[in-house]
Amino acid sequence: MVPLRGSPQVPCFPQCVECVLQNQQSNGSWGLVQMDSSVNKDVLSSTLACVLALKRWNVGGEHIKRGLRFIGRNFSIVTNEQSVAPIGFNITFSGMLSLGMEMGLEFPVGQNELDRILHLREVELKRFVGDKSDGRKAYMAYVAEGLGNLLDWNQVMKFQRKNGSLFNSPSTTAAALIHNFDDKALQYLNLLVSKFGGSVYPTNIHCQISLVDSLENIGISQHFSSEIKRILDVAYSFWLQRDEEIMLDVAACAMAFRLLRMNGYDVSSDDLYHVDESTFHNSLQGYLNDTKSILELYKASKVSVSEKEFILDNIGYWSDRLLTEKSFSDRVQTTPIFQEVEYALKFPFYATVERIGHKRNIEHFDVYVRHQFQTFC
């Protein structure tokens, strides 16, 4: 969707457009294929985004038709509250839907259904009226691609990182570049495209250490020792440099600290000085009251090596309280992460038998949740 500067009718990244044309699934969708062929909100978002891109550059007419038919067949999933959704789905999907209608796309869906989905964004935005918190500002910037001209893009650019990105997200960065040209943002996207070609997948350090955590949890990490060491060495380098990719992401920071310390790297809990309850609530994850992030903080607090690690004690205190409160929430109890929260609160890692823990983790491993998390990285 990003035009070449000075040539609004020419794509800045033609190789990405070609990648979209070459990677449509047989059912008309784009995105990660589920093992059971099920459709989720992430696939619907990916499909709609690809349809918009092809329409924007006036290519792939048949691809667009197949994509629209796929969206029409599965439109009921959009309002299914039981379906796992990417962060800000109600805003981003509604925003893309509105843009598609402005571009002249005809969705094979009744007008009442379209109006119902478009109303979701209005409801979300009304919820923010009067909220001036930093967490709310971060969230609005994170879902900026679904808000278009409703946002002050100069305010959004305040969340730009040193590498030129917004939240290390190619899609959010591209949206910013469309509305507010920025050399650093363009440099970031050019770097990704040159590294990965037209198929850009955001495998940042959080995704990589999450993979290490999964391998250790199910007891097969010894088969990937060299790969794991390579990832942890990079994470340790980032840690020593206090790189934004780790330090500005609460969940990544907590997980990196735990994995590095558990694998013998010299990391000090003093480096977590920026993680307290007030700063957490002002972060994107805190604003979303993200269970996974709180759980990672709780786990990190349990790898103390000294009675004087007061920062870990403090993190453990308030993360324990937040998790306990969330464990009584009906909404949390219906999500796959609930059992992980319940188990962590009852049995700290030092109180579990390793092989029994591996067996339990294998039995409760949810490959779909892992994939869903990756779409947030």
Residue labelled with tokens 């059971």: 36
Q: Domain 205-374 falls in which CATH fold?
A: Glycosyltransferase (1.50.10)
- Measured between alpha carbons, how far is 210 from 293 in angstroms, rounded to an integer? 12
Sign of the four-CA dihedral 203, 209, 215, 217: negative
Q: Domain 1-117 falls in which CATH fold?
A: Glycosyltransferase (1.50.10)
What does the DSSP 8-state code read for residue 242? T
pLDDT by position in tens, the chain (length 377): 898 888 989 999 999 999 999 999 999 999 876 655 568 899 999 999 999 999 999 999 999 999 999 999 999 999 888 787 888 999 999 999 999 999 999 999 999 999 999 888 888 888 877 788 888 899 999 999 898 888 889 999 999 999 999 998 899 999 999 998 899 999 999 998 888 766 655 557 898 999 999 999 999 999 999 999 999 999 999 999 999 989 999 999 999 999 999 999 999 999 999 999 988 988 889 988 899 999 999 999 999 998 899 999 999 999 999 999 988 876 666 677 788 888 888 887 777 777 777 788 787 776 544 444 333 33
pTM of the predicted protein model: 0.84
Q: What is the DSSP string of 89-101?
A: HHHHHHHHHHHHH
Angular region, 352: left φ>0, alpha ψ -120 to 50, beta rest? beta
pLDDT of res. 377: 32
Candidates 16, 6, 14, 11; CA nearest to 198 is 16
For the chain, domain boundaries: 1-117, 128-201, 205-374
Q: Do domains 1-117 and 205-374 have the same CATH topology?
A: yes
